[in-house]
Amino acid sequence: MAGKKREAKSDKKRKKKTSKGKKSSEEKVVIKTKKLKREEKEVLDKYGINVDKVFGEVRVIEDPDEFVPIYKLITPQVEKGTGVLIDQIKETMISEMKLSVSELLDPKKISEIKKKFFLKSLKMLGEQIPNLPIDKKQFLAGSMVHEMLGLGRIEMLIGDGNLEEIVVNNSEEPCWVYHKKYGWLKTNIKMETEDRIGNYASSIGRRIGKQISTLNPLLDAHLISGDRVNATLFPISTKGNTITIRLFRRNPWTITDLIANKTVDAEDAALIWLAMQYEMNILISGGTGSGKTSFMNAVIPFVPPNQRIISIEDTREIVLPDFLHWVPLTTREPNPEGKGKVDMLSLLVNSLRMRPDRIIVGEIRREKQAQVLFEAMHTGHSVYATLHADTADETLRRLINPPINVPETLVEAIDLIVVMYRDRRTGKRRVYEIAEFSQMENKMFVNIISRWNPKKDKSEKIGDFKFLKKIKMFADLSDSEIKKDLKNKETILKWIRKNKINTVNGVGKVVAETYNDSKKVMEIVKKKKKPEAIVPKEWLKVVS
């Protein structure tokens, strides 16, 4: 009897155990299924990138444990044994590939150097791991090039066209990126040490003749690609060394792109074209990231190609098409002994001796710069510059008050103010205002010509423009002739937009032909002929 009880008890335990096992197994399956469904919901975006044969996948993930979405860069993992072999190959290459300092500092030669390193890496990998598939060899070779000549894994972020900004705050935190669609995202990339961040900053500075050190802990520079870089060193940045990279569009914005995405309409663009044709002075203002420099790059091709342009900047941001007669100048910091400094004021004074037709200044910041700039306007040079200000009224206040402090009598030399605006919530960039400065009873005021209406998302006419009096006086044109010219320019811009001529050379060719023979261009436009009638086929490729 006792044996039967024990058996029944044992059987009961077995059943309980079996049912428990089944339950836990089913629960695992359910949890796994739920997790998969949850992961699918979490992935906001997914796309591939390829930088120097290094392939990766980007996933933008909504993580419930994070306050912002995560930018996850997925690349093949390298095993420890392979990693040791790669380190040995890198050491061998560094000793064998002898390069002079001048070669490393020359931006024109860096692509050739990268190619040499890539091919040498492939060869050595083939010798060491002969059975490795070619795509994996290319991945490892590209990764080595990124480590030896670039910024490591950050090179993959630089190659992502969806990013506007890359930020390294210190070695303790992950890198951050600003995505065009999703805003600020935290990445899964982390710098190993503070020294690594400092070495990257030093490497960037050396290539353009600048230095960052404990004595000079701030750096403004640019990459070979033209992207702007700012770096700071500890203890100035108290949490650690930092690098901030502002990425510029690989295919420069053209006026076609800006009309297509409603940054500016054809009517306002025609007015700016007219002002640039007749050498009016233009100031482009706006907040940080509002598109001031991009707009400047897009409208400078309105300058006739037979005129000389001198640009002056602290850090190279302006990129103009090759067909323009352009000489870019940049400032230089002093060496450790405090010698060799070339500031913007020196370059401004020097540029006046270079017989420029047009002068571009990256940004007005100080009184002396502004005074020389306005003197250049008064001596007959056509000047274009940028300024941080959110409205035309604020632009005037910033100019006539410290630290810029320009006398009101000089401010009137500016013929046109274009104010850029960026809605950070939606990512829209718009020409917010077009205005001019006028004087009445010895008092300077702002005359608004047009203003963007956010409700209708379009530019609306506010008042008449007075700067046309200058054009009438100097070009000997009547009101009807100016009106006709503006209408023709607007028609040409709409034709360019309709035919998707959005390469820099393509837009530049249409503008140049308009200056050479406007009647011929208008005939082609009105008869709706194909763009090949003006622009060579190789310049018609639509840029994405």
Cβ–Cβ < 8 Å for 193, 174: no
CATH 3.80.10.10 at 255-272+280-477, yes or no? no
* pLDDT of the residue at 103: 65
Alpha carbon distance 302, 293 (integer Å): 15
User: What tokens were used for 535?
Assistant: 């622009």
Q: What is the pLDDT of residue 444?
A: 85
Give the pLDDT confidence score for residue 229 in this predicted structure: 93
- Placement of tokens 């870019």 in the chain: 328
- In whole angstroms, how far apart are CA 284 and each of 32, 222, 387, 497, 535? 56, 22, 6, 23, 29
pLDDT at 105 (0 to 100)? 63
- Gap between the Cα atoms of 107 and 93, Å rounded: 21
What one-character-per-residue DSSP string does 368-389 give? HHHHHHHHHHHTT-EEEEEEE-
For every residue of 423-480, DSSP letters joined together read: -TTT--EEEEEEEEEEEETTEEEEEEEEEEETTTTEEEE-S--STHHHHHHHHT--HH
Task: At 216, give phi and psi (nearest 5°).
Answer: -120, 80
CA nearest neighbour of 137 among 126, 150, 148: 126
CB 330 within 8 A of CB 394: no
Q: What values do phi and psi take at 166, rounded to 5? A: -125, 130
Kindly write down the DSSP assignment for every residue of 120-135, as one continuous string: HHHHHHHHHSTTS-HH
Residue tagged 């990693």 (tokens): 83
Instruction: Please report, for the chain, the start and end positions of each structural domain, with discontinuous segments joined by +.
Output: 255-272+280-477
Q: Closest Cα partner for 78 from 160, 174, 142, 27?
A: 142
- Phi and psi at residue 124, to the nearest 5°: -70, -35
Of 161, 159, 117, give the one whose Cα is nearest residue 140: 117
Q: What is the dihedral of CA 298, 299, 303, 305, to 10 degrees?
A: 20
Measuring CA to CA, which residue among 495, 523, 519 is closest to residue 507?
A: 495
According to the model, what pLDDT value does residue 106 have?
66
The position carrying tokens 């009807």 is 480
Ranges of residues in the chain with a pLDDT under 70 are: 1-41, 99-107, 336, 541-544
